[in-house]
Amino acid sequence: MEYDPSVIEEKWQKFWRKKNTFKTSYPSQLAKFYVLDMFPYPSGAGLHVGHPLGYIASDILARYKRHKGFNVLHPMGYDSFGLPAEQFAIQTGQHPSITTESNISRYRQQLDRIGFSFDWDQEIRTSDPKYYKWTQWIFIQLFNSYFNLDTNKAESITKLINTLSREGSANINAARHKDQNCSAKEWAEMNTSSREEFLQQFRLAYRSKSMVNWCPELGTVLANDEVSEGYSVRGGHPVSQRMMMQWSLRISAFAERLLSGLENLDWSDSLKETQKNWIGKSNGAFVKFNVIDSSNKSIEVFTTRPDTIFGVSFLVVAPEHSIIKEITIPSQKKEIESYQKTTKKRSERERQTNVKNISGAFTGSYAKHPVTGEKIPIWISDYVLLGYGSGAIMAVPGHDGRDWRFAKHFKLPIIQVVDGGDVQKSAVEGKEGKIINSNFLNGYEVKDAIWKALENMKKNNWGSPHVQYRLRDAVFGRQRYWGEPIPIVYRDGVPETVDLSELPLKLPEVDSFLPTKDGDPPLARAKDWNLSKNLIRETTTMPGWAASSWYFLRFMDPKNSTTFADQQKINYWNQVDVYVGGSEHSTGHLLYSRFWSNFLCDLGLIPFSEPFKKMVNQGMIQGVSAFVHRLNNSQTYVSSNSIKGRLTQRIPVDIKLINERNELNISGFKNWLPEYKDSEFELNDGILTVEREVEKMSKSKHNVISPDSICDDYGADALRLYEMFLGPITQSKPWDTKGINGITGFLRKSYRLLEKDRSDIESLGEKKIVHKLIDKVTRDMDSLSFNTSISAMMIAVNDLTGLKEIHINSLKAFTIILSPFAPHLAEEMWELLGGETSISREPFPICNNEYLQEDLIKYPVQFNGKTRFFIEVRFDMKAKEIEQEVLNHEKTQNYIQGKSIKKIIIVPKRIVNLVII
RNA sequence: GCCCAGGUGGCGGAACUGGUAGACGCGCACGACUCAAACUCGUGUACCUCUGGUGUGCGGGUUCGAUUCCCGCCCUGGGCACCA
């Protein structure tokens, strides 16, 4: 009887499917446990071994929790709207739904082979109208809500409208992006269009202008990473910055709650830190600078360092700022306009990244310093972004690096206002030191001076304290086809939501997935999309993150057609207990889902505001790429170790053509691609060696390893264990199939334990082995660091194999512990041990600490911190006795050699250290 | 540039709260089994100028004792708002 995964795994996968072993039960008397994976975007490339890393970890946890008696929700689905399918559609004309469908079935096949305990009855697909009906429904709720700052909650817009008609806007304290006000009378006199325009400043889903990377050639907006040096990555067309009217969501209203909500979450500190930085709360002030001369224009700046007000030597305004037109003097007009033009070509990313490249232009105007009354020049530069603060800054070159570089470059004065360092040599940026050259602030420590300055500005009316968040409202419209249509109709240009009975508003058929000639999004091509001449439909679609912002709720009740999820079910399943996914989502997706949860909670639709109690970020699995060296201008390939200064090209070659000793499969290489058919080789003993490198797994690098091929060769259990054994779940690590032999060896040994002679009574020795294992595995569960659990299992198997005979209880306990990790083998072993049903809900063994106690403890004996020898003593020996034992030891005198003992340190159960001088 | 994470043998990694650095596995070497190979089993395996010394990216510091704490650097990976 040999371990044969191909037979065992198929048998048990069939069994699970037939018996519906992992069906989620509801209602249930059991305590619930919700463990969720970030669902995948089904790409055409299929899964590689990196993808299931997190799924395996969460599956182990899900299976463990079933053993622990929980009712587990462990679902899977597909985030099936997205750009790649649309791109493929543009190229081939094939409808994205077809591509998506076939990608999904490929994913499903791949997932099924790994033996996950997903309940596939709970599957969801975000591109399914039955799903996106509710994504659209939530959008409508957002449209119909505003954020009341008095109650600190999202509330119905109807309430706001009532207030407006009763008393106007005077007492309304709400999150808004404009400052338009009205009296009750004015409100009453407004027509529909003006009212809507007025309400837009409050709605949580609203239209506003925002800056985008516009590519006229492609007729679309591009992501920052689709733009390089002012040209589109795809096609190389020019891209420029442009203001565009777009749907946005008012996430900024929730900034403070998203920040404070982090406190009680069981997330890693670094993840919380990333979110905090993204939200970017800063305490500071708006300071008003009046422009000298004409009219009464003024520039408002935001600063976190009002204490440095006396160090201001110029103002910098974002090149897109509307005031520039009004303040630029005629002689500077040309320069300013040409600078604005250049800026348009740079993406926001480039502007933030490339800080060494200093540029700017002078408007020719001056502002009056609000305290000293001095003349301050007004410049524009692309290092100031319109989207943050007020789009203008007061430059304090002495104490800010960017301002300093700017001042040096344009030879502007640098004033020192905090002591320490020399501001002519570099900016003094720290928040420590005393204020100098600053009138009433002189002598104060920075911290006190900030406070003092805020006080003074309030008194003398030169500014107002303000809390600023970096978090911007999220642009919600996309000029694409393959996404959820935004359920909005414009009646005579006034946006209104479509009637709920019309949901889902399905994606229309179009003749092409490209924008129209006029640059309208693809939906504008749909026939009969508009209802009439004055009833025009929205043509943008929702972004990828819309659907994923609430999918964890739909998993609780995926087939409900009357509501997004049943209240009772939401109450039962509640928050996600453990959420596993990549750290690349640590800001976007995680922040947006928290935002939507907060919002739905305010509306009373869900009983919690934080969706994910515990979050675990899995690391990446990198691929090992192989390169062959080809002599330049030839078809001759040489071994990587015999290049010897010859000029060669490195050519990536399929990793499957390389064996364990880095040797190329030469005939395989010739047949791999037609271009290599006539290759010649310079061989050493018939061998050509290649070079290896670790990098991201990707198709173009030919270093992708698919889970299927591993399942074929070694089995799913081996794949599962090996992925976990590679290292801590949170860390990135390279894949190297070689190491999997250790795992198959372990599985075989585990299976062979069943052949051992059985004993009638459990020995103390085997109890110690088993309980040590229970203890380790149980403790590892929390952190999902299963690499150490697996090595503990290996140790246990080795130890048990060493015993003459084993009791069936030890075998059963071991099999249950193994089962979350290698479920197929465990089921098979369980059956052979006499189990009559699936092992999946057998109670997990409990550790008895009694068996963890060792009788003898080996103490390392150190002299001045260097280990010299060991003594073995009973575990309960007192410190004094140990000390005597050491002093009496024959070797002790050797190390003392006339010196005297200054101190003896005994750490119980750890170490003995003698300090000698 | 800013933010976050990481750097330990030939390789993946282990080391609970400052207490034997290198568990476990791969690889490698030797041996057993075998006609032979594979499988399996056993032994060894950080490095060096080896009765001793050096070692956890580099340079300092705190400590009886530092992979672990502090300060200053270097390198690699991830994110930076329309890729998902």
> Does residue A910 register a pLDDT over 80?
yes
Could you tell me the distance in Å between the CA of residue A759 and the C1' of nucleotide B65? 47
Q: Which nucleotide is nearest to A227 (CA to C1')?
A: B82
Residue A610 lies in a domain: yes
Q: Which nucleotide is nearest to A858 (CA to C1')?
A: B20
Q: What is the pLDDT of residue A690?
A: 73
Q: What is the pLDDT of residue A131?
A: 97
Q: Total structural domains in chain A? A: 5
> Does residue A563 register a pLDDT over 70?
yes
Could you tell me the distance in Å between the CA of residue A859 and the C1' of nucleotide B33? 40
More confident residue, A205 or A400: A205
Task: Kindly state whether residues A330 and A412 are assigned to the same domain.
Answer: yes
Nearest residue to B20 (CA, C1')? A860
Round the average pLDDT of chain A to a whole number and report it.
89
Confidence of residue A17 (pLDDT cuts 50, 70, 90): very high
> What tens digit of pLDDT does each residue of A78-94 get?
999 988 888 888 888 89
Q: Which nucleotide is nearest to A863 (CA to C1')?
A: B64
Q: What is the pLDDT of residue A270?
A: 84
Q: Which nucleotide is nearest to A743 (CA to C1')?
A: B25
Could you tell me the distance in Å between the CA of residue A783 and the C1' of nucleotide B62? 31
Where do we find the tokens 């935002």? A595
Could you tell me the distance in Å between the CA of residue A807 and the C1' of nucleotide B39? 28
Distances in Å between the Cα of A709 and the Cα atoms of A114, A323, A426, A590, A724 are: 11, 62, 58, 33, 18
Q: What is the pLDDT of residue A609?
A: 93
> Does residue A659 register a pLDDT over 70?
no
Task: Kindly state whether residues A425 and A314 are assigned to the same domain.
Answer: yes
Could you tell me the distance in Å between the CA of residue A879 and the C1' of nucleotide B65? 18
CATH of the domain at A904: 3.10.20.590
Residue A510 lies in a domain: no
> Does residue A497 register a pLDDT over 70?
yes
Q: Which nucleotide is nearest to A540 (CA to C1')?
A: B82
Task: Kindly state whether residues A833 and A863 are assigned to the same domain.
Answer: no
Task: Kindly state whether residues A766 and A908 are assigned to the same domain.
Answer: no
Beta-carbon contacts of A690 under 8 Å, excluding residues fewer than 6 positions away, are A626, A627, A628, A629, A639, A640, A653, A658, A662, A663, A664
Cβ neighbours around A771 below 10 Å, total: 19
Q: Which nucleotide is nearest to A624 (CA to C1')?
A: B11
> Does residue A1 register a pLDDT over 70?
no
Q: Which nucleotide is nearest to A660 (CA to C1')?
A: B27
Nearest residue to B80 (CA, C1')? A349
Where do we find the tokens 């609780």? A556
Q: What is the pLDDT of residue A482?
A: 94
Across A435-448, average pLDDT: 87
Instruction: Identify the domain containing residue A870 by its residue range.
Output: 854-916
Q: What is the pLDDT of residue A662?
A: 67
Nearest residue to B18 (CA, C1')? A907
Distances in Å between the Cα of A288 and the Cα atoms of A309, A463, A525, A627 are: 11, 6, 48, 61
Task: Kindly state whether residues A456 and A314 are assigned to the same domain.
Answer: yes
Nearest residue to B15 (CA, C1')? A788
What phi, psi does A856 have (nearest 5°)? -115, 140
Across A707-723, average pLDDT: 93
Tokens coding A788 = 């150490």
Tokens coding A372 = 């000293």
> Does residue A12 register a pLDDT over 70?
yes
Map residue A625 onto helix, strand or coil. Answer: strand
- Provide the H-helix boundaries in A280-400: 323-327, 333-345, 348-353
**CA A834 – CA A551 distance, rounded (Å):** 41
> Does residue A23 register a pLDDT over 90?
yes
Task: Kindly state whether residues A570 and A639 are assigned to the same domain.
Answer: no
Residue A580 lies in a domain: yes
Q: Which nucleotide is nearest to A736 (CA to C1')?
A: B12
Residue A458 lies in a domain: yes
Could you tell me the distance in Å between the CA of residue A865 and the C1' of nucleotide B70? 21
Distances in Å between the Cα of A621 and the Cα atoms of A6, A76, A739, A801 are: 25, 21, 14, 33
Task: Kindly state whether residues A653 and A762 are assigned to the same domain.
Answer: no
Q: Which nucleotide is nearest to A246 (CA to C1')?
A: B82
- Where are any strands of DSSP class E within A202-280? 205-215, 220-222, 227-228, 231-232, 240-249
More confident residue, A628 or A111: A111
Q: Which nucleotide is nearest to A907 (CA to C1')?
A: B19
Could you tell me the distance in Å between the CA of residue A421 and the C1' of nucleotide B73? 21
Could you tell me the distance in Å between the CA of residue A802 and the C1' of nucleotide B42? 13
> Does residue A677 register a pLDDT over 80?
yes
Confidence of residue A281 (pLDDT cuts 50, 70, 90): confident
> Does residue A293 register a pLDDT over 80?
no
Evaluate whether A244 touches A222 at the Cβ level (below 8 Å). Answer: no
> Does residue A126 register a pLDDT over 90?
yes
Residue A480 lies in a domain: no
Which amino acid is present at A841? Answer: R
> Does residue A214 register a pLDDT over 90?
no
Could you tell me the distance in Å between the CA of residue A909 and the C1' of nucleotide B19? 10
Q: Which nucleotide is nearest to A387 (CA to C1')?
A: B81
Task: Kindly state whether residues A803 and A897 are assigned to the same domain.
Answer: no
Across A878-896, average pLDDT: 81
CATH of the domain at A552: 3.40.50.620
Q: Do the strands A636-638 and A680-682 form a parallel or antiparallel pair, or are they unpaired?
A: parallel
Could you tell me the distance in Å between the CA of residue A652 and the C1' of nucleotide B76? 21
User: Could you say which DSSP state residue A147 is in?
Assistant: E
Could you tell me the distance in Å between the CA of residue A449 and the C1' of nucleotide B78? 38
Could you tell me the distance in Å between the CA of residue A673 and the C1' of nucleotide B73? 47
Could you tell me the distance in Å between the CA of residue A789 and the C1' of nucleotide B25? 13
Evaluate whether A304 touches A284 at the Cβ level (below 8 Å). Answer: yes
Residue A772 lies in a domain: yes
Could you tell me the distance in Å between the CA of residue A800 and the C1' of nucleotide B4? 44
Given phi > 0 = left and psi -120 to 50 = alpha, else beta, which region is A483?
beta
Which amino acid is present at A175? Answer: A
Among A232-241, A404-413, A705-714, the range scoring the smallest mean pLDDT is: A232-241
Chain B: bases < 7 Å from a protein Cβ: 1, 3-6, 11-16, 19-21, 23-28, 39-42, 64-66, 77-84
Among A117-131, A816-830, A883-897, the range scoring the smallest mean pLDDT is: A883-897
Could you tell me the distance in Å between the CA of residue A624 and the C1' of nucleotide B75? 20
Nearest residue to B79 (CA, C1')? A584
Q: Which nucleotide is nearest to A352 (CA to C1')?
A: B1
Q: What is the pLDDT of residue A561?
A: 94
Q: Which nucleotide is nearest to A728 (CA to C1')?
A: B13
Nearest residue to B65 (CA, C1')? A865
> Does residue A800 register a pLDDT over 70?
yes
Residue A215 lies in a domain: no
> What tens digit of pLDDT does each residue of A26-62 get?
999 999 999 999 999 998 888 888 889 999 999 999 9
Among A462-471, A650-659, A820-829, the range scoring the smallest mean pLDDT is: A650-659
User: Where is the domain boundary, A469, A489, A511?
Assistant: A469
Task: Kindly state whether residues A85 and A116 are assigned to the same domain.
Answer: yes
> Does residue A271 register a pLDDT over 80?
yes
Q: What is the pLDDT of residue A355?
A: 65
Tokens coding A671 = 């047949």
> Does residue A630 register a pLDDT over 90?
no
Could you tell me the distance in Å between the CA of residue A859 and the C1' of nucleotide B63? 21
Q: What is the pLDDT of residue A264?
A: 87
ipTM of the complex: 0.93
Nearest residue to B21 (CA, C1')? A867
The CA-CA-CA angle for residues A507, A510, A511, to 5°, reads 165
Q: Which nucleotide is nearest to A582 (CA to C1')?
A: B78
Nearest residue to B84 (CA, C1')? A41
Task: Kindly state whether residues A584 and A647 are assigned to the same domain.
Answer: no
Q: What is the pLDDT of residue A861?
A: 86
Could you tell me the distance in Å between the CA of residue A814 and the C1' of nucleotide B34? 34
Confidence of residue A518 (pLDDT cuts 50, 70, 90): confident
Distances in Å between the Cα of A136 and the Cα atoms of A35, A108, A534 are: 26, 27, 23
Confidence of residue A644 (pLDDT cuts 50, 70, 90): low
Q: What is the pLDDT of residue A221?
A: 86
User: Where is the domain boundary, A407, A437, A469?
Assistant: A469
> Does residue A652 register a pLDDT over 90?
no
Residue A530 lies in a domain: no
> What tens digit of pLDDT does each residue of A335-386 get?
999 998 888 877 777 777 766 678 889 999 999 999 999 999 999 998 888 8
Question: What are A570's strand-pairing partners?
Answer: none
Task: Kindly state whether residues A571 and A641 are assigned to the same domain.
Answer: no
Nearest residue to B26 (CA, C1')? A739
> Does residue A660 register a pLDDT over 70?
no
**CA A166 – CA A187 distance, rounded (Å):** 9
More confident residue, A679 or A72: A72
Across A736-751, average pLDDT: 90
Could you tell me the distance in Å between the CA of residue A436 and the C1' of nucleotide B60? 34
Q: What is the pLDDT of residue A436?
A: 87
Could you tell me the distance in Å between the CA of residue A727 and the C1' of nucleotide B10? 18
Evaluate whether A521 touches A147 at the Cβ level (below 8 Å). Answer: no
Nearest residue to B82 (CA, C1')? A223
CATH of the domain at A321: 3.90.740.10
Q: What is the pLDDT of residue A258?
A: 93
Helix A192-200 vs helix A157-167: crossing angle, to nearest 10 = 120
Q: Which nucleotide is nearest to A220 (CA to C1')?
A: B82
> Does residue A573 register a pLDDT over 70?
yes
User: Where is the domain boundary, A453, A469, A485?
Assistant: A469
Q: Do the strands A733-734 and A621-631 form a parallel or antiparallel pair, or are they unpaired?
A: parallel
Evaluate whether A650 touches A627 at the Cβ level (below 8 Å). Answer: yes
Q: What is the pLDDT of residue A539?
A: 93
The percentage of residues in chain A with a pLDDT greater than 70, rounded to a whole number, is 98
Could you tell me the distance in Å between the CA of residue A868 and the C1' of nucleotide B48? 19
Task: Kindly state whether residues A816 and A909 are assigned to the same domain.
Answer: no
Could you tell me the distance in Å between the CA of residue A63 and the C1' of nucleotide B45? 38
Q: Which nucleotide is nearest to A270 (CA to C1')?
A: B4
